[in-house]
Amino acid sequence: MKIFLLEDDFSLNKLIYNALEDRGFFVTSVHDGYEAMTQILNNRYDLYILDINVPGFSGHEVLEQIRKINKNLPVIIVSAQLEIDNISKAYDLGCNDYLKKPFELEELILHIKYHIKTILKNDVDKDIIDLGFGISFDLKDQTLYKHEHEIVLTQKEKLLLTLFINNLDKTVTSEMIHEYVWDNKEMEAVSMRSMIHKLQKKLKSGMIVNIRGVGYKLIKKDYL
């Protein structure tokens, strides 16, 4: 899962970044609203954490832009601004949660888990996803197991498998893969095909289906 973090306090930014990375999340962190706008306009994330009072565009303005792109993905505001007007404005613009500073990191993690379960419909308390044929994927640790033996994955393979699992039995377009795994950065088409092929070999033949001209699909064992 990819999380976007906007926090201008460098120390707090690093603390949150490390805490999330330690729990298996892929995190993009920025310190000002200008960079935040650039990132959210060009990349896809699963959950956003925004401070309000930051240089450049405010957290409110970043939130407003996020909601123009996607109305459903969870957005958590973390702010020392406790005035009811600021809190009300954040909710009016579409935030899902407002966490007042200072807070415990574990409190933030609990809020993240709650929104993953209720909004993204992904039960993070069930860390191990059974893919059948003795294959499982630990979403928390981003670890693939085959007959209880760990199969080494690259960072991009972890992102790709997470994307497939979050869209199990649904077509994942090449554009979705390019955006989620490569952050829309320039890449050769052969790079995507090569990574799909390598991941397929680490799973079971036939689990990843090529939807010609559209993308790929990870299918359940029941349909193989």
What strand order describes the sheet that includes 135-138? Answer: 128-132, 135-138, 143-146, 149-151
Place of tokens 């990843």: 208
pLDDT of residue 124: 46
Per-residue confidence band for 194, with pLDDT thresholds at 50, 70 and 90:
very high
pLDDT, residue 125, reads 46
Measured over the CA atoms of residue 88, residue 93, residue 96 and residue 100, the dihedral's sign is negative
The answer to which of 87-101, 118-132, 182-196, 210-224 has the lowest mean pLDDT is 118-132
Nearest to 103 by CA among 133, 131, 134, 82: 82
Asked if pLDDT for residue 224 goes beyond 70, the answer is no
Does the structure show a pLDDT above 70 at 223?
Answer: no
Domains of the chain: 2-118 (3.40.50.2300), 128-223 (1.10.10.10)
Is 22's pLDDT higher than 90?
Answer: no
pLDDT of residue 121: 59
pTM: 0.74
What's residue 29's pLDDT? 96
What pLDDT does residue 123 have? 45
Per-residue pLDDT tens over the stretch 31-73: 999 999 999 998 889 899 999 999 999 999 999 999 999 998 9
Tens of pLDDT, residues 151-191: 999 989 999 999 998 888 899 999 999 999 998 888 888 89
pLDDT category of residue 138 using cuts at 50, 70 and 90 = confident
What's the pLDDT score for residue 14?
A: 97
Q: How far apart are CA 98 and CA 125, in angstroms?
A: 23
pLDDT for 3 beyond 90: yes
* Residue 91 tokens, joined: 């909710």
Q: Are 182 and 174 in contact (CB under 8 A)?
A: no
For the residues 130-138, what does the mean pLDDT come to? 88
Q: For residue 24, what pLDDT is reported?
A: 80
Residue 104 is classified by DSSP as: -
